[in-house]
Amino acid sequence: MATGTQIEVVMPQMGVSVSEGTVTKWLKQPGDTIARDEALLEISTDKVDTEIPSPGDGVVGELLVAEGETVEVGTLLATILPVGAVAMEAPPAPAPVAAPVALAAEPVAVAPEPPIGVAPEQPAAVPVAADAASGNGRTFVSPVVARIAAEHGVDPNAVTGTGTGGRVTKKDILAHIESGATAPPAPAPAALAAPPAPAPAAPTPVAAQPAAPPAPAPVAPPAAPLQTGEVEEPMSAMRRGVMEHMRRSLDTSAHVSSAIEVDMSRIVAARAQLKKEYQASYGVNPTYLSFIAKATVETLQDYKWVNAEIRGEKVITRPWVNLGIAVSLEDGKGLIVPVIKNAQDLNLLGIARAITDLAARARTKKLLPDDVQGGTFTITNPGGFGTFHGTPIISQPQVGILGTYALVKRPWVVQDELGQDVIAIRPLMNITLTYDHRLVDGAYSGGFLRDLRTRLEGWEQAD
Amino acid sequence: MPARAYLLDAGLVSYREALELQQSLAAAVIQHGFPETVILVEHPSVVTTGRRTSETEVHLPEDTSVEVIETNRGGKSTFHGPGQLVCYPILDLNRHGKDLKRYVRDLELAIIATIAPFGMEAVTIEGLTGVWLDAPPRKLASIGIHVSRWVTTHGFALNIDLDPAPFTSWITACGLEDAQFTTMSRELGRSVSVDEVKPAAIMAMGEVFALEFDALPAADVVGLLARHAREPLATR
């Protein structure tokens, strides 16, 4: 969902020595849908052309500056309307509106039904809305604000609005709630557990999960006043989703982690051999992660309970592996776990291709809701940063997550052809299995890791 | 302390290929924190236009067959050809002052520092971005930049040893009607090669932007990008 209120796009500050810029090209027109961070226009200053990204999701409303005009920093350039609102200059714009709305139909209806009768922009709303906000009339608030208000039992009319025409924005209502001006949200624990509506094209992994078990409503500690130098910002929907999910997983599963060291010599050799061919013929990079994913999927066939799920007092196992791959988004903005469906049917190339595709779509927010659902086991790969060990958190309702870590050359004791111990330099990787000890025992998990290592160390390239 | 950056000395590369390379690198810098990279190339003859190029600027003689490419860089039309050192810094301006004008001034400084070891004194002219030799003004280097999320593409072109006629006879370069264009060879009265100037350019870029370069072999760029795209996969 887009943010609920109209977003204003202003000429940004592009350096202390830059006071103005020329609009060279509008990359979107009124009525076009636009995602946060997507380029909206280009500004030229001196010999530099700069793309100005949209500050939020929505539909382009008005373009207020013509191409070729030079404007000062801070000048209002355009407005972005929330998805669902009707762009003033584009009366019949059904197409751009329909698509995101359909995608937004996520399984998040646990929260009390928000008043979603998306109110159209009121023409000449400025004086009218200001009156309404200060008085007792029905103030227009966006669906997002309405939902937040409903969740926290706040009357939006009681909040001072800073939006256009004194409208109550999401920021206003969050600030109002933060300030403690409202009663604790006692009667609706489920509402708290429900993730907020995700961005249309990037549902959080949490959104795909079944409803949370009713947790006792946490009593929020009184908000500490902000100290000088501290910066406060609202948490994104995805962040809140991740927050809720991580906590719930730790509260649900009995997490235990085991690690094994794997000599990756054969994988390194196989990869070097395949890399050129894969890249030239298929445009796909056979990453170490693809090899590990392939070996993991094979090993899971022999260890059904690592690929299982606990439902009540029953254990659910299945013949297929839907492999989740944890993908972190840029700048720590969140985490998403797209799923490779029926990974047991894919060969190495198929897995490498699926990982490349999902990771790219995750980062460009082009995942479909189905891409993040139905995972039966997950791999996370923080080793790119050089870390050699970790204890990841299980993605519910799964019971296991594999962690892969930095590939490092180490002195390693091996046997030469005479059976003598010698020290060799080998590329080693630590691999961890974090499992839910409610279902998976230590010996069983040890067997899984041992067999996985055997597969990787004895890799025969067959595909 | 200088930051580590890559230096890619790519040799003679077509404009389009170099543009694609720049865009891949910029995307990697934006999305994955790929190290900043400075590309040095020469282009086969080509005319490029910027967003603000007016139609009258390009007036190729009838017997000339040269490709004209529209780009997304700032500035107006320009000409590239062998004998010109083209430098494309893919920098994250979050690390260099977050100021578009300052970046252009810094590039001018780097160009001036590049030619100083050759005994050339250049100037900048208010309102006429680029690097000039004075009295009468002759343009030695041109600048055109594109910035997306504070990451730069495009850069500068320094005329070293080429015929500057196309700047005026093929196009009205930079939209400047009566400007003269010159080259280092012409000014120094001897043949100066691009290879001779590269070390000075590398040193100047390193000094102005506080970068310490690791050479990036041209053949490995694709693999390196792919590898880098994979690494941030995950975390829990």
Residue with more model confidence, A279 or B233: A279
Q: Which of these ranges, A198-207, A379-388, A423-432, B77-86, has the smallest mean pLDDT? A: A198-207
| Chain A residues whose beta carbon lies within 8 Å of the beta carbon of residue B104 | 46-48
Instruction: Please determine, for residue A224, whether its predicted confidence score (pLDDT) is greater than 90.
Output: no
Q: Is the pLDDT of residue A214 over 80?
A: no
Residue A165 has pLDDT above 60, yes or no: no
- pLDDT, residue A1, reads 43
Cβ atoms B26, B148 nearer than 8 A = yes
Cβ B144–A47 below 8 Å, yes or no? yes
Check residue A124 and give its pLDDT. 32
Give me the pLDDT at residue A122, please. Answer: 33
pLDDT digits (tens, 9 = 90+) for A19-49: 888 888 899 998 888 988 888 998 887 778 8
CATH code that applies to domain A253-457: 3.30.559.10
Average pLDDT on A303-330 reads: 91
Q: What is the pLDDT of residues A366-392, one digit of tens each?
A: 776 667 778 999 999 988 788 999 999
Q: Would you kindly state where each structural domain of chain B is located, as residue ranges? A: 3-228
Give the model's pLDDT for residue B170: 83
**B151-164 confidence digits (pLDDT tens):** 999 999 999 999 98
**How sure is the predictor about B48, in pLDDT bands with cuts at 50, 70 and 90?**
very high
Q: What is the mean pLDDT of residues A160-172?
A: 64
| A282 band by pLDDT with thresholds 50, 70 and 90 | confident
* Nearest CA-CA distance, residue A435 and chain B, Å: 14
Q: Which residues fall within 8 angstroms of residue A124, CB to CB, at 6 or more apart? A: none
| SS3 of A218-243 | CCCCCCCCCCCCCCCCCCCHHHHHHH
Catalytic residue check, A57: no
Question: For A305-327, what is the mean pLDDT?
Answer: 93
Most confident among A170-184, A347-361, A395-409 (mean pLDDT): A395-409
Domain spans, chain A? 7-102, 106-245, 253-457
Per-residue pLDDT tens digits for A437-454:
999 999 999 999 999 999
Check whether A247 has a pLDDT greater than 50: yes
Indicate the pLDDT class of residue A200, thresholds 50, 70 and 90.
very low
The CATH number of domain A7-102 is 2.40.50.100: yes
| pLDDT at site A402 | 97
State the pLDDT at residue A121.
35
State whether B100 and A14 contact (CB < 8 Å): yes
**CA A50/CA B105 separation, integer angstroms:** 16
Task: For residue B191, give how far its alpha carbon lies from the nearest alpha carbon of chain A (Å).
Answer: 30
Residue A430 has pLDDT above 50, yes or no: yes
Torsion angle in degrees (nearest 10) through CA of B99, B103, B106, B111: -170
pLDDT at A183: 44
Q: The tokens of A335 are what?
A: 């985490």
DSSP-assigned states of every residue in A86-112: PPTT-S--HHHHHHHHHHT--S-TTSP
Amino acid at A252: T
Q: What's residue A133's pLDDT?
A: 36
pLDDT at A406: 93
Whether domain B3-228 has CATH 3.30.1300.10: the reply is: no
Of chain B, the percentage scoring pLDDT greater than 70 comes to 91
Q: Is the pLDDT of residue A291 over 90?
A: yes
Amino acid occupying residue B45: S
Q: How confident is the model at residue A94 (pLDDT cuts 50, 70, 90)?
A: very low
- Of A86, A87, A149, A90, nearest in space to A115 by CA: A149
Name the closest residue on chain A to residue B236, using Cα atoms.
Answer: A392
Q: Residue B203: is its pLDDT beyond 90?
A: yes
| Predicted confidence (pLDDT) per residue in A95-143, tens digit | 333 333 333 333 333 333 333 333 333 333 333 333 333 333 344 555 5
The predicted pLDDT at position B34 comes to 81
Q: What pLDDT does residue B61 have?
A: 83
Query: To the nearest whole number, what is the mean pLDDT of chain A?
Result: 75
To the nearest whole angstrom, how far is the Cα of A175 from the nearest Cα of chain B? Answer: 29
Rounded to whole angstroms, the Cα distance separating A194 from A268 reads: 44
Place A234 in a pLDDT band, splitting at 50, 70 and 90.
confident
Q: What pLDDT sits at residue A449?
A: 97
Mean pLDDT, residues A413-418 taken together: 87
Looking at per-residue confidence, does B12 or A94 come out higher?
B12
What pLDDT is attached to residue B232?
A: 41
> For position B87, what pLDDT does the model report?
97
Separation between Cα atoms, residue A61 and residue A85, nearest integer Å: 9
Above 80 in pLDDT, residue A314? yes
Radius of gyration of chain B (CA): 17
Note whether B110 and B38 are within 8 A (CB): no
pLDDT for the residue numbered A169: 67
The rounded Cα B108 to chain-centroid distance in angstroms is 11
Burial class (CB in 10 A: 0-12, 13-18, 19+), A188: middle
pLDDT, tens digit, 9 for 90 and up, residues B55-75: 778 888 887 788 889 888 887
Say yes or no to pLDDT of B120 above 70. yes
Residue among B67, B86, B53 nearest B172 (CA) = B53
Judged by a CB distance cut-off of 8 A, whether residue B53 touches chain A is no
What confidence score (pLDDT) does residue A143 get?
53
pLDDT at A270 over 90: yes
Cβ(A407)–Cβ(A427) below 8 Å = yes
What are A's interface residues with B at a Cβ cutoff of 8 A? 14-18, 22, 24-25, 37, 39, 42, 44-51, 53, 275, 279, 285, 287, 289, 325-328, 330, 335, 355, 359, 363, 379-382, 384-385, 390, 392-393, 401, 403
